[in-house]
Amino acid sequence: MGEKIIELKNLSKSYPMGVAALKALNNVTLSFAAGEFAGLIGPSGSGKTTLLNIIGSLDLPTSGSAKVLGQKIEKLSPKQAAALRNFAIGFIFQTFNLLPVYTVYENIEFPLLLQPQLKPARRQAMVRQALEWVGLADRAGSRPKQLSGGQCQRVAIARAIVKNPRLVLADEPTANLDAQNSASIMEIMKKLNKELNTTFIFSTHDEKVIKHLRRKIRLADGRVASDESIPRCRC
């Protein structure tokens, strides 16, 4: 396993609830190495999305520290946090979150437009490569409403990986997919993990995702209840 790219120390996140506070995360300490294929597993409300959002610098902890790709999340300015997300982190959501008026190609190209130093020819090559990775080269001109849910999620995967991020955060990526589409997107992500060494962290309670994970971190009421890894096969 590679270098540590995420170090979370005593992370807590509370939301005010009348006179009390709801602890969405309660003293979470975890680290992740480059190249992991790991999942946060737990029932609805256990804190999975809150934790992914903090790792992705979309949200801040109430206390504790989070170091992601060498940067302390709680110390970043909004501009620095945006740069970290734009260059180094890909996001995949349960509801795909594609832009409906744009084509598949334009949806995938979108994050690259946030990197103004990229020349158009390079950008085009990167989008083409991402389309190949997810097997949608022939649908570049389609719009999301012309695609199935499985195809939409493949576009979302392409959009997440097009900038070749070191880290991809996938929040319940199969929640809206049937068994066959879930299996197919997991195979794509496993391949990206193996061939590009992209680190994947999922949140899920779907057995179809869980069986593919090399590390399973169970959350319960905002705490880490267990953390098991399967050693990498050396055969």
Which residues here bind ligand ADP, judged by CB under 6 A?
A: 15, 22, 24, 42, 44-50, 203
The least distance separating ligand ADP from the CB of residue 124, rounded to whole angstroms, comes to 36
Q: How far apart are CA 223 and CA 30, in angstroms?
A: 11
Site for Mg ion in 9-68 (CB under 5 A): 48-49
Residue type at position 229: S
Tell me which of ligand ADP, Mg ion, none is bound by residue 50, counting a contact when its beta carbon lies within the kind-specific cut-off of 5 to 8 angstroms: ligand ADP
In the complex, the smallest distance separating the C-beta of residue 131 from Mg ion, rounded to whole angstroms, is 29
DSSP 176-223: TS-HHHHHHHHHHHHHHHHHH--EEEEEE--HHHHTT-SEEEEEETTE
Nearer to Mg ion, 2 or 43 (CB): 43
Is the separation of the CB atoms in 205 and 43 below 8 Å?
yes
Q: Looking at beta carbons only, is 41 or 130 nearer to ligand ADP? A: 41
What secondary structure does DSSP assign to 72-118, as a single string? EGGG--HHHHHHHHHHHEEEEETT----TTS-HHHHHHGGGGG-TTS
Query: 166 is in the binding site of which of Mg ion, ligand ADP, none (Cβ under 5 to 8 A by kind)?
Result: none
Smallest distance from the beta carbon of 49 to Mg ion, in angstroms?
A: 3
32 or 133: CB nearest ligand ADP: 32
Contact (Cβ atoms closer than 8 angstroms) between residue 28 and residue 11: yes
Q: Give the nearest distance from C-beta 139 to ligand ADP in angstroms.
A: 31
| Interacting residues toward Mg ion by CB under 5 A | 48-49
